């Protein structure tokens, strides 16, 4: 019966699809909208409906267009090369497909938690108990007790009522801001000029919400632009605590106070801070005692936690609003069991004494790396965080430095070029871990000094020592204070 019905359905004659000229133009992709066209009206005899056929003088050459744009990126040295780095060794070592064993100095696995035996065992146990996949979206067979347990752990970590998991933090930021921008009546959004692309895309996609940009980490300018907003309308202020490329740390207390003085909701990205700051590693908010002023916190499980995924933590009502309306949460498969259990095990370690000791050890290695690079004349951009940017200011030389370090010294540091950073701001972004030893630090410093000169860059040993000391003092405030029992390098 079913086969006969299908045969009848597929054998029925179908009238041609009728689209007006305007409808066709609206449906075309951006490439085709700019193309010249010849419009020839033709009567559709079969349907009796007036249609318009659009014929193009020449078909668009997609491959040629793509190749042209790629050639432009190669010429300005912003073309991205993806190194095949197989993390089959204990961090910070790995295997690079072309040169073999390398020491990695640019990973966002800041504390090496992805290789922690307890974290790995948690993932293995989850696979054995639950399988490799989640089974669906959160609404359809994709919510387990593992999801709920991890969300409770995250809410507790940030001292919030609730938390909601996303596939990654780009999606968490983009979807949350887009959803709030579309659903809050007449909302205005205020975005820090240094915000990550995920925050920017979320703001852009929030339909007709008025959008404002304030200077990076500038509470006075935020106050100025907020003062111009319509009184009484909802407002969102979005910014990051630790900037991913400069390592700058925001004036969290001041930004929150300004936002709340104008009745705004604070949306704060702690992606490069979770796991690394505060007694339990909950981020800059915990370190500064400002968690109560942070209305919504976005974080990642893919950096210091050493796993994968993103989340938003906040009040019950707003988190439930996102759970009910955010398309990036509703219409995607949920995180799988091994990721959930590995993440929860990692967070529990980071909240413990072991996590505290890791952060103290991390502080020492970061300080040592920054100091030695400055002493050898590198143009280190001083920042009170765990990120050590070395400014090159030339895309070709920056790429060459990365290549030479890899091929000649088996050191992997990825060059950072446009559009990740502005032109003339190209840099090497060095990310020490607690597992880098004193010997590894010295190898990096000497290799970078050698190649720095080889590519034609100038050394400057007359660095501003007072500025360095100030940054170090700030860094000591950020990290828990070390004591005599903490080793100076990884064992």
Would you please indicate which residues are annotated as catalytic (active-site) residues?
303
Q: How many helices (H) and strands (E) does the chain have?
A: 18, 16
Q: Report the distance separating Cα 71 and Cα 130, nearest Å.
A: 47
Q: Report the distance separating Cα 210 and Cα 217, nearest Å.
A: 21
Residue listed under structure tokens 């439930």: 320
Residue listed under structure tokens 């007694």: 279
For the four alpha carbons of 36, 42, 46 and 50, in that order, the dihedral sign comes to positive
Name which of 27, 22, 21 is nearest 39 in CA terms.
21
Q: What CA dihedral angle connects 299, 304, 306 and 312, to 10 degrees?
A: -10
Burial of 208 (0-12, 13-18, 19+ CB in 10 A): exposed
Q: Which two tokens stand for residue 237?
A: 């202020």
Cis peptide before 32 (omega within 30 of 0): no
Name which of 66, 106, 65 is nearest 85 in CA terms.
106
Contact 235, 190 (CB under 8 A): yes
Sheet holding 264-269, edge to edge: 162-166, 310-314, 296-300, 264-269, 235-240, 188-192, 211-214
């Amino acid at each position: 019966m079913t086969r006969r019905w299908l045969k009848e359905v597929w054998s029925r004659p179908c009238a041609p699809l009728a689209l007006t000229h305007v409808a066709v133009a609206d449906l075309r992709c951006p490439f085709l909208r700019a193309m010249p066209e010849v419009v020839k009206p033709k009567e559709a005899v079969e349907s009796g409906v007036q249609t318009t056929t659009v014929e193009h003088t020449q078909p668009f050459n997609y491959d040629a267009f793509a190749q042209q744009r790629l050639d432009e990126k190669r010429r300005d040295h912003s073309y991205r090369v993806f190194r095949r780095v197989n993390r089959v060794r204990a961090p910070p070592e790995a295997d690079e497909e072309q040169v073999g064993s390398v020491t990695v100095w640019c990973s966002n696995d800041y504390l090496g938690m992805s290789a922690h035996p307890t974290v790995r065992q948690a993932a293995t146990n989850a696979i054995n108990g639950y399988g490799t996949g989640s089974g669906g979206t959160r609404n359809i067979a994709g919510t387990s007790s593992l999801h709920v347990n991890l969300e409770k752990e995250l809410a507790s970590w940030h001292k919030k009522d609730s938390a909601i998991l996303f596939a990654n933090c780009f999606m968490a930021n983009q979807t949350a801001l887009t959803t709030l921008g579309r659903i809050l009546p007449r909302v205005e959004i205020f975005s820090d000029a240094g915000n990550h692309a995920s925050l920017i895309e979320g703001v852009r996609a929030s339909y007709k919400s008025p959008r404002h940009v304030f200077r990076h980490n500038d509470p006075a300018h935020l106050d100025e632009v907020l003062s111009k907003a319509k009184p009484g309308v909802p407002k969102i202020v979005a910014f990051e605590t630790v900037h991913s490329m400069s390592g700058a740390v925001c004036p969290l207390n001041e930004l929150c106070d300004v936002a709340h003085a104008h009745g705004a909701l604070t949306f704060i990205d702690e992606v490069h801070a979770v796991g690394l700051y505060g007694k339990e590693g909950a981020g800059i908010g915990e370190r500064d005692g400002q968690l109560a002023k942070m209305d919504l916190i976005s974080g990642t499980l893919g950096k210091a936690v050493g796993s994968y995924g993103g989340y938003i933590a906040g009040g019950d009502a707003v988190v439930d609003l996102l759970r009910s309306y955010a398309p990036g949460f509703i219409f995607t498969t949920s995180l799988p069991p091994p990721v959930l259990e590995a993440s929860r095990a990692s967070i529990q370690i980071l909240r413990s004494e072991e996590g505290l000791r890791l952060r103290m050890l991390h502080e020492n290695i970061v300080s040592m790396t920054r100091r030695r690079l400055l002493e050898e004349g590198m143009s280190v951009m001083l920042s009170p965080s765990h990120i050590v940017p070395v400014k090159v200011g030339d895309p070709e030389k920056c790429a060459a430095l990365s290549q030479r370090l890899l091929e000649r010294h088996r050191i992997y540091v990825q060059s950072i070029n446009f559009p990740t950073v502005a032109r003339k701001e190209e840099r090497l972004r060095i990310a020490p871990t607690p597992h880098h030893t004193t010997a590894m630090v010295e190898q990096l410093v000497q290799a970078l000094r050698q190649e720095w000169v080889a590519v034609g860059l100038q050394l400057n040993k007359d660095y501003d020592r007072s500025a360095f000391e100030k940054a170090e003092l700030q860094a000591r405030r950020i990290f828990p204070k070390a004591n005599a029992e903490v080793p100076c390098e990884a064992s």
